[in-house]
A and B are shown apart, each in its own frame.
Chain A
């Protein structure tokens, strides 16, 4: 839900970074420099708390990324990915501790109380100036949802979507997708959370919400009465947007987390977890 980001990457640098991130090779694709593999041994990691991996996410933690607002139950895609990363790095599940980290804390320059943060944060080169990202653990697409009988019911084109009053969560790639890709006729409504956007949609104060595809499926299934998926947006400028773990700028841990994510991608764990926790099939593409 918080695919907060800006896809407006510098084209060349962005393409290069994405080519690296998108590959399923096991090599580190992080731009912050590399360290030797030996330093990724558990006892040599620069951890916030010795002997445990501290992972942050915001509260409430939303489905399908987390289940029952309890990151520690291992259910939901991001929770499962965090435990998989921990295992890959050599931690036991008991050594993984969750802390509540709001989005603003995760991105601020203040001292971090987590080793890495998973909160549906999209990777971009502009954001890399402020924080470190692991390589991407999920390839994101954006979708438009609405309700039966709305202005958007039966619309199949971007031009049709542009005529509606749309909403999104503040600072998300979804919001940027509205501004950059859909270019709506009326200014989009911006909400603090997807919950508020859903409430506005229920009140018919807006015609549709733009969110990432898995969240879109969750919303129409569980939150919006008579919800429909209008369609998914084409890739922005042909670039693949990805969610990545957020680390403190210059963290020594970044190459190690990236290495773990790359390994999970290569051995098919990420695909398996996506199949288990995320439904993203069957959303028609808007032309």
Chain B
């Protein structure tokens, strides 16, 4: 900023300021020309690749049929309301499950990082839990809970399949999220812990005020990954008979064998994902969560 002001100043003497040397100005001009050159080359190569790909695809023999099957505007309009209604189920599952997953995942991670022999059963439980539910395919967990548990015919259990499906998602995802949290907790340098304890904080306080804030900050990008992944996996509970966005698209597709509704669903999912990512990036930068790494999460 100061440099520009100096450049803009009428005369060096009047501004009474420093002016870059001839050599420095040449360097700057050179750098500007190089970056301009890079930008032009990048634009041209992007344009070329997109054009070639576009021409290859649209001139292929099957393109008319593909475009008709996947990108039919009328079919898109026709299926949009039902797909959107299905998406509402995904969003509700996403909201409820993500809260439950965060709580359960964090609890498991803290359990697993407890020290002292007396906590061995807790550590064992947390380790066994994460091993089991990361290993089990989510679909199996959904089947077991959605079709298996109601088959027990116990009184008082919920009949709503959405609840069982949501529970299965929480069980499975919290195992992944627990490991992400644990990685964060273990990445905090031991000196931080030692310093906190030497200041008189007990274990709980050390975790709450020193370790977890740093840990969570560091694992925010992978947590967001899991969140985005959950948006789409939430649709897996459709196997239990409920209609999510993808199932709504499937129903619409099977009417006339036109796959456009899936593209509509995909578009809506992307619309859901992009703002989430951008908002989190924005918050993270604002609060300096990403540290001093280059780019700071920018594209």
Which residues of A are interface residues toward B (Cβ below 8 A)?
Answer: 4-6, 8, 107-109, 124, 126-127, 129-131, 167, 170-172, 175-176, 187, 189-192, 196-197, 199-200, 202-206, 249
CA distance A199 to B150 in the complex (A): 10
Contact, CB under 8 Å: B65 / A249: yes
Output the least CB separation between B65 and chain A (Å). 5
Contact, CB under 8 Å: A189 / B147: no
Contact, CB under 8 Å: B254 / A4: yes
Contact, CB under 8 Å: B257 / A190: no
B259, closest chain A residue (CB): A108
CA distance A205 to B259 in the complex (A): 30
Determine which of A127, A192, A204 lies in contact with B256 in the assembled complex, contact meaning CB atoms within 8 Å: A127
A172, closest chain B residue (CB): B254
Set of chain A residues within 8 Å of B243, measured between Cβ atoms: 187, 190
Which residues of B are interface residues toward A (Cβ below 8 A)?
Answer: 62, 65-66, 69, 147, 150-151, 153, 159, 161, 238-243, 247, 250-251, 253-259
8 CB contacts below 8 A, A to B, read A6-B254, A109-B65, A129-B256, A171-B255, A190-B247, A197-B241, A200-B161, A205-B150
Is the contact region of chain B dominated by helix, strand, or loop, or is it mixed? helix
CA distance A171 to B79 in the complex (A): 14
Contact, CB under 8 Å: B65 / A126: no
Set of chain B residues within 8 Å of A189, measured between Cβ atoms: 161, 240-242
Q: Which 4 A-B pairs give the minimum distances between C-beta atoms?
A: A171-B254, A189-B241, A130-B257, A126-B256
CA distance A20 to B100 in the complex (A): 58
CA distance A189 to B243 in the complex (A): 8
Determine which of B247, B251, B253, B257 lies in contact with A131 in the assembled complex, contact meaning CB atoms within 8 Å: B257
Contact, CB under 8 Å: B159 / A190: no
CA distance A200 to B159 in the complex (A): 10
Set of chain A residues within 8 Å of B258, measured between Cβ atoms: 129-130
Determine which of B147, B159, B259 lies in contact with A196 in the assembled complex, contact meaning CB atoms within 8 Å: B147
Set of chain B residues within 8 Å of A6, measured between Cβ atoms: 254-256
Determine which of B69, B251, B259 lies in contact with A175 in the assembled complex, contact meaning CB atoms within 8 Å: B251
Set of chain A residues within 8 Å of B153, measured between Cβ atoms: 204
| Residue with the greatest number of chain A CB neighbours at <10 A, chosen from B243, B247, B251 | B251
* A124-B256, A202-B151, A205-B150 known; A190+B161 contact, CB < 8 A: no
Output the least CB separation between B90 and chain A (Å). 15
Determine which of B69, B238, B257, B259 lies in contact with A127 in the assembled complex, contact meaning CB atoms within 8 Å: B257
* A109-B66, A171-B251, A191-B241 known; A203+B150 contact, CB < 8 A: yes
Output the least CB separation between B167 and chain A (Å). 15
B150, closest chain A residue (CB): A203
Contact, CB under 8 Å: A190 / B238: yes
